[in-house]
Structures are given as structure tokens and as C-alpha cells.
Amino acid sequence: MFRLYRHFFLFMLTTFLWMNCSHTPEKPNILLIMADDMGYSDLGCYGSDIDTPHIDRLADEGLRFTHFYNAARCCPTRASLLTGLYPHQAGMGGMVVSQPGGREPGAYQGYLNNNCVTIAELLKQAGYRTLMSGKWHVGEFRPVWPVDRGFDRYWGLISGAANYFNPNRTKNHTVSRIMAEDDQALHLPSENFYMTDAITDHAVKMLQEYKNKTFFLYVAYTAPHWPLHALPQDIEKYKGQFDQGWDALREKRYQRMLDLGIIDHDWPLSPRDNGAMVWEDVEDKELMSLKMAIYAAQIDRMDQGIGRILKTLKEQNRLDNTLVLFLSDNGACHESGPLGQDFWGNGVLPGGVDSYQSYGRSWSNAGNTPFRLHKHWVHEGGISTPLIVRWPAMIKKGGEITHQVGHIIDLLATFVDIAGVSYPATCNGHAIQPMEGKSLLPVFQGRQRQPHDFLFWEHEGNRAVRHANWKLVAEKDKPWELYNLEKDRSETRNLVHMETELAERLEKEWTKWAVRVGVK
């Protein structure tokens, strides 16, 4: 009898070890969350005093990147994210067009071309259900909607910025933004609607619908992009919090970022932006404080929605087998002057459906602490993004910070690596350009990965190249500047006249890249 039990025990042990060691690990679900026009320092875990507990928890349980880059603007970044290419290679070197033929074909045509393949198209080959809720903005006409480029399900805003409470509402009440569900245009109700909550609602709905399927879910919030629209209870929470103004806020955030280890003590706080005002000179401080309160409320509501999505995954017992990533598409938005703009000019206070305002360059300067410039530009304030990654199966120690350099082109390469799918040379009869990104998986595993030799940018004439710790950068129609980012990532000490040979070499590399990808 003892021998019988002994043989049975050995059989069960062998079976257990075979099942747990010989099989390929289950592919993780992938949840990719993107904010719109959120600054580098706008999250609690990156130095902000805005309440973002659910995003902060992702950081506490995962990994924060300090040197991750976007492509400086919403459309180019989204194109690079989806394709693993530089935006020009995907046809999105500039902004989107509303109809075909609006621009000549090529790097700036304004919609995804046929010589790229999207994350969704690739992950479908690996058995993933491909889902998206939120802002698309890389093609406003068929056949370049999400369902045309690999997504099984879609709900959201095909076009750009919109009224959060009523996307059909515009200044002249005649032009509406393009909303869609799968392959059908939507005309949404004008009451009891708020864009951020609706994006969350449909993300949760998709998770519930596909609760037994491996998924890739791309949640692209419009928050906190203008207009300044938020729910009253969220605004109330932040009223008065920013009465000290942007100058004091920059100092406060800078110190907290140092304390958190997000930035280095060698990097000074950049001087106040040339286009920003001195807080003491602002006449209507109450209005400007309110604008920042509304902006903070927009981020807060997005964080609440992310909490709902994560709760759904936890209830489905899928959270720990889900790779979760959170990032922003560009730096904070300076648009419309130092104090922002009332786009509708009706004098209505910001916050509600009848208003349409931005918060302006002075607050944007605080959002991008400690860096220079903003969205549109390719100085660090325009292209630096917080990236947070949670994946317990791979990232064993939460709360870690990595200073390894990554770029938006690396996300598709990472997902292809994780899913075990081959990147194609052709797709649907079209030649596909070679992938530019490199997998971030070694970073997730706590290893050093082989970095990019060079990284490049161009948007609306602003241009840059990074090589190791050196960055050559220029504003449109202005001369090159050179910075040692290890010692001065705030870009305050221009070394272009001291390191002339290096500057010339980097300029040549940028020019070669520009010719290769079709920069004008």
C-alpha cells in the first residue's frame, strides 16, 4: 500500500511540474491608457498635488519611467504608438485631415497610410480581442477608422477636441465632432453625458463583454485637453487650491520631484517661460485659479475612471495577468496665450457646457515642471511624458523608477515581443516599413536593454535628435541648441558653440533621418 501511495505521489508531482514548467506562460492581457495634453508633473507620483490615487497605485505596484518620450503632439504621437514607426512614416508628420485628398500623399497626408501595420492588426494574429474606447485622431474618414485598422470594437471620438458635455455643441451650433461606435457614426444625447465618464463606461462594458477572452484594450481619454469642462463636485474639490499661482506651484512641484527621485539635483528649474505672466501681475487671479481647478478636476475624474477599469479587472480575477501602461500624448498645452482663451467669446465662466476655454501658457509652464516649452515643441517640456507600467508577472518589485530612455515607437515593439507575433514585411498586399521601435521588455524585467543609438523628432519645423546623453534641438526657423541631458535636462545651458564637432555630427544624423522619413 505504501508503494502505491508513493507512486501516486510521484506521478502527481511530475504532472504538476510538467504543467507549470513545460507550458508556455499565458499571454498577458494588455491595457494601454493615454491622457491628452497632460504635463509631465501633473500626476501625484510625478510631483503634482492633483489627487490621482489610482494612477499612483499603479506606480506603487509597478515601474515609473523618467526618460520616456512622445512625438510632441496628439496626432503624431498616436500614429507612432499604433504603428511603432516615426509619425512621418505612418503619414502623420502633422495634424489629421477631415477628408481624403486634403493634402498630398506622404509624410504629412493626415491619416494612417497603408505601409504601416497597427498594434490591433498584429495582436489579432496572436488571438487577442482588440478593443478601443476614446480618442482616435489619426483618420477621420473611412476606411481609416479603428475598425478598419484592426480593432474588433470601438467607441469614441474619431476627431479631435470636443465639448465634454455635448460633443454636438459648437460655437455656431452647426458643426459636430465625429463620434462613432464600431463602424457607425453616433449622435449623442445632449443631457446626462460627460466624455470622460463615457469613455470609462464603454471600456468597462467591453471588459465585461469579453471577460473570458485575452484582450488588448486601448483607452484614450480626451482629458485634460481643453475645453475646461468638469463636473461641479470635482471642481469644488480644487477651488482655492491654486490661489498661490503658477510661479509658486512650479517651485513646489520642483522640490517634490526632487524628493521623489523623478528629476536630478543637477537639473535646475528652468526660468519662467517667456510667454508666461508673473502671477503678481495678473488682474483676475480668481478666474485663473478657477481655470487650474477645472483642469485638475478633469485629471481627477480620469483617475476615478481608471480606478473603475482596474476594479473591473480585479473582480474578473484578471488584473494580475494584465500589463497596464499609462502615459500622456504630449506635454501640457500652451495654446491661446498666457492666460488662455475664451474660444466662444461669450463671457461664460469656464467649467460648463456653455463655455469653451483653455487655461493658457502660464499654467502649462507649471504642468511641464521643470522643463522648457510645451506641446508642439520638441524641447523636453513638449516631448517628455510620464510612463507608468504595472505587470506583477514581470515587474516583481513595485515603486521602482527607471532612468532608461524609451520612446513612443517602442510600445508596438514591446507588445509584439510579449505576444510572440511576427512583424510582417507585407500586410493586405502592401509593403510594410520596418519597425523602428525596440522592446521595453528587458526594462520591465529589471535589466539594461540596448538603447537606441539615436532618437529623432520633427513637428511643424521644431526638430531634435538625442544620442546617449546629448540632445541637439531647435525651434522652427531658429538655430540649433545642444544640451548635455545628464547634467542639464532642463535645457538651460546651451553648449552648441563649445561642442561644435558633436553638434555638426548630430545635425548630419538628423538630416539623414529627415530625408529617410520624408520630413519637409
- Active site residue ranges: 74, 137
- Alpha-carbon gap, residue 266 to 481, rounded angstroms: 19
Give the per-residue SS3 of 32-101.
EEEECCCCCCCCHHHCCCCCCHHHHHHHHCCEEEEEEECCCCHHHHHHHHHHCCCHHHHCCCCCCCCCCC
How far apart CA 97 and CA 107 sit, in angstroms, is 13
With CA atoms as reference, report the closest residue to 124 among 144, 150, 143: 150
Count other C-beta atoms under 10 Å from residue 353's C-beta: 17
Pick the closest to residue 332 from 261, 384, 278, 294 (CA basis).
384
List of E strands, 73-223: 129-135, 153-157, 179-181, 184-186, 215-220
96 residue type, one letter: V
121 touches 435 (CB < 8 A):
no
* Beta strands 470-474; 481-484: pairing state: antiparallel
Helices (H), strands (E): how many in the chain? 13, 16
Cell of 98: 477631415
CB of 165 closer than 8 Å to CB of 352:
yes
| Residue 327, amino acid | L
Amino acid at 367: G
Integer CA distances (angstroms), 279 to 230, 238, 363, 456, in order: 24, 19, 10, 35
If you ran DSSP here, which 8-state letter would residue 230 be given?
-
207: exposed, middle or buried (C-beta count within 10 Å: 0-12, 13-18, 19+)?
Answer: buried
Name the maximum alpha-carbon separation found in the chain.
92
* Residue 424 preceded by cis peptide, ω within 30: no
Record the cell numbers describing residue 443, joined without a space: 526594462
> What grid cell was written down for 315?
473582480
Q: Which residues contact 474 (CB under 8 A, 6 or more apart)?
A: 462, 463, 464, 480, 481
The candidate with the shortest Cα–Cα distance to 89, out of 113, 122, 121, 119, is 113
